[in-house]
Amino acid sequence: MVQEIRPDLFLIEVPLPNSPLKYLNSYLVRSKDRNLVIDTGLNRQACYEALHGGLTSLGVDLGRTDFFITHLHADHFGLVSKLATPTSRIYFNRPDAEIIEARGWWEPMLNAAAHNGFPEEELRNAIEHHPGYQYSSDWVPEFSILQDGDAVDVGDYHFQCIQTPGHTMGHTCLYEPAQKLFVAGDHILIDITPNIQCWSDNQNPLAHYMRSLDRVFAMDIDLVLPGHRRLIEHPKERIAELKAHHANRCDEILDILVGSEMSAYTVASKMHWDIKCDTWEEFPIAQKWFATGEAIAHLRYLEEKGSIKRRLRENHAVFSRNGNEG
C-alpha cells in the first residue's frame, strides 16, 4: 500500500512475513533534487518487492535517493544494501553504527542471555530464529553520521534529528517543526509497545527510554509517523499510556519477586504477554528471547531505583526485592 500523507510525503507499507509487527512503515520524502527514504524493511524478497515497487510507482530514481535509518534493527536497516546506489547517502547515528561496525555483536548478547538464565541449549536456536540475524543487511554501507539537532532538508521539508535512546542506544527520530510532524521509528507506536531490551549488567535502556518519552512529550507535534501500525494523532496521550505501561510492568515484576529470588528468564516466564500461547513453553523461541530482554530491562531499571537487588548464584544473575518483603 502507498499512501500520500502530505504533499510529497508518502507511506509505503512493507510486509514483515511471520512477524507480529505485520508491516514496516517506510516513508518517502520526494523532491525535484534528491529524495529521502526513511527505513527500509528486512533483507527479504517480499520486502524488496513491496518497497521497490512502491518507489517505482512514485517515479523515484534511486540514483537521486538518500536513506535515513532510525536505528539498527534489521526490519528498519536490513534492506538498505539492496536499494542504495553509489550516489546514495546513508544517514545514521553514531551509537548504533559502532555496534554494527564492530560485528560479532551477537556473541555478547548470547553471553548476557545465558548469564540471565536463558537455557544454554536453546541459545543458538534463539539467535538463528531471530529476524535480525536471518535478514540483516548484505553489507555495511558507509554512513553519513548525524548528531542530535542536525538538519535534514528535503524539498519543502526541514527536519531536525531528535535522538531518543531506549529502543536502541542511538535511536534517532526526525521532527519537522513547521509541519508539526514527528517521524518516530520505534520510539512511539500505537496498539503495541516498543520492545525495550537490555543485554548488559551496566546499561539502563528503560531509564533512557522514559527520559526520551518526556523529551518528545514537551514538543509541539500534531502527527506521529511511527515505524509500525497506524499514524498517531494524539501523541501526548499515547506517551502517557506508554509510561503507564512500563510503570505497570515494574509493579508486575515486584509482585512476581515477593518472597522469591529468580533469574530474568524465570521472571519473563511469569509475566503477562500479549501472545496466543497458553504456556511459556509454547512461546516461539524468538518471542522468549524478546521477552527475556524486556524483563532484564525492567529489572535493571528497578535495580537502579533501589527497589530490587541482584547477586550471583552459580554464575547466574538472580534478582530479589530489597529487604525480601513478603
Residue 184 lies in a domain: yes
Residue 284 lies in a domain: no
- φ/ψ of 307, rounded to 5, equals -80, -30
Each residue's pLDDT tens digit in the chain (326 positions)?
999 999 999 999 999 998 888 999 999 999 999 999 999 999 999 999 999 999 999 999 999 999 999 999 999 999 999 999 999 999 999 999 998 887 666 788 889 999 999 998 888 887 777 777 777 887 788 999 999 999 999 999 999 999 999 999 999 999 999 999 999 999 999 999 999 999 999 999 999 999 999 999 999 999 999 999 999 999 999 999 999 999 999 999 999 999 999 999 999 999 999 888 889 999 998 899 999 999 999 999 999 999 999 999 998 999 999 875 44
Given a contact cutoff of 8 angstroms between Cβ atoms, the answer to whether 185 and 227 are in contact is yes
Residue 194 lies in a domain: yes
Residue 304 lies in a domain: no
Residue 40 lies in a domain: yes
Query: Would you call 307 helix, strand, or coil by DSSP?
Result: coil
Residue 120 lies in a domain: no
Q: How far is CA 227 from the centre of its chain?
A: 9
Note the pTM of the prediction, 2 decimals.
Answer: 0.94
Distance CA 294, CA 252 (A): 13
Q: List own/partner pairs for 303-307 with CB under 8 A and 24 or more apart.
A: 304/204, 304/207, 307/250, 307/254
Which CA distances in Å does 95 have to 32, 80, 101, 196, 210?
Answer: 32, 18, 10, 16, 18
Distance CA 89, CA 142 (A): 8
- Boundaries of domain holding 10: 2-102+134-234
Q: Looking at the 3D structure of the chain, how many domains does it have?
A: 1
Residue 289 lies in a domain: no
- Buried b / exposed e across 66-99, counting CB within 10 Å, b at 16+? bbbbbbbbbbbbbbbbbbbeeebbbbbbebbbee
What CATH number did the domain enclosing 87 receive? 3.60.15.10
Per DSSP, the residues of 4-17 read EEETTEEEEEEE-T
Residue 177 lies in a domain: yes
Distance CA 281, CA 290 (A): 14
pLDDT for 235 equals 97
